[in-house]
Amino acid sequence: MRKNKSEAALFARYISEFLYDYAPCFLTHSDHTLKSYRDTINLYVAFLEKEGITPASFGRKTFEKPLIEKWIQWLLSERHSCPDTCNVRLGSLRVFLEFLGSKDVSLLYLYHEAKTIKRQKCQKKKVKGLTRDAVSSILDEIDITSKIGRRDMTLLSLLYGTAARIGEVQALTMKDLHLNSAKPYILLHGKGGKTRTAYLLPRMTANLHGYIAEFHGDQTNPDSHLFYTRVGGGKENKLTEAAIDKRIKKYAALAHEKNPDVPPDTHAHQFRHAKASHWLEDGINVVQIRYLLGHENLETTMKYLDITPSEKAEALATLEREKASTQPKKWKNSDGSLSAFLRLPQ
């Protein structure tokens, strides 16, 4: 029994470390993604409790393939989750299991087992495109005579101009900006803790200089967020995704009345997809777009942009040429339940 308790305490500590330390520091700066990790762990534990798992029986066996597959079926039948959602949950759990394997090599088999679980079949959803005219129509609705309008113009222009993820723009701090370099650029912190460089055109650089002067002044704290919330706290509190989405939908709704090509429910990710599509239209190679977007695999970029067979062949040929040129008892449990034992965040 002591061994079981010891293993349960160890797994509880790993969950806490993953949610509070590893994921926010090394995996993502996106509040949405972090919430997805928390929700996944909570849902899996809720399922385990229905299966009769208690702190005394909690451990590596509860993360093996048969139980995970049963959990997916539970999500579908009991929670009425759609196939897309089930795949997101499975992906999040795999990330946690990979983390477990990095902490203890004897647990690595759990991650490899989970990788063999088949994803649910889903109907492919295409991102609604934004034409160049639609992007211009949205930006035209921003009132730049107001301070909040000037902030929104800078934010949305940066979002489109760099094709950054919304979480990457939210996470930008003053030390990530290098506007006085010979070639001005910003550092974007993407998925998996990866950092990439996004170079800025002169107009965007000038906009950022003006924005910083107005919103940050002469004395800037390197750790201050570039876009911060004006409610509840100082510049160390980043602007929330919900606040940004609300502003985008406001401008999109106004633009839609004048230009039907603007989706009234426009969201931040459409600016990223639009810029990538426009790069492709401008003749930029898919391999280069892959790096600009921060995609790890070329296949991801090709799916993302719905690349045609001829464009795919050209991209793969370019990639081959590129490869050839580069070769030379701390856990208290109040009611005996697994949730209480783990003290999961809600």
The pLDDT assigned to 330 comes to: 46
**In the chain, what is the greatest distance between 2 CA atoms, to the nearest angstrom?**
70
The pLDDT tens digits of the residues spanning 137-184 come to 999 999 999 999 999 999 999 999 999 999 999 999 999 999 999 999
Statement: 132-282 belongs to CATH 3.40.50.2300: no
pTM, two decimals, is 0.64
C-alpha 167/C-alpha 173 separation (Å) is 12
Phi, psi of 195 (to 5 degrees): -115, 135
Nearest to 322 by CA among 286, 295, 293: 286
Residue range 118-126: mean pLDDT, rounded:
76
C-alpha 109/C-alpha 116 separation (Å) is 11
| Residue 144 half-sphere exposure toward CB, CA atoms < 13 A | 12
Query: What pLDDT band is residue 331 in, cutting at 50, 70 and 90?
Result: very low
**Residue 225 in 3-state DSSP?**
strand
The answer to whether the beta carbons of residues 179 and 209 sit under 8 Å apart is yes
* pLDDT above 90: percentage of residues in the chain: 62
For the cut 80, the answer to whether the pLDDT of residue 341 exceeds it is no
Place of tokens 């109040």: 334
Residue range 264-291: mean pLDDT, rounded:
89
Domain ranges of the chain: 2-124, 132-282
C-alpha 121/C-alpha 123 separation (Å) is 7
Q: How many other CB atoms sit within 10 Å of the CB of residue 129?
A: 14
Q: What average pLDDT does the structure give for the chain?
A: 86
For the cut 70, the answer to whether the pLDDT of residue 35 exceeds it is yes
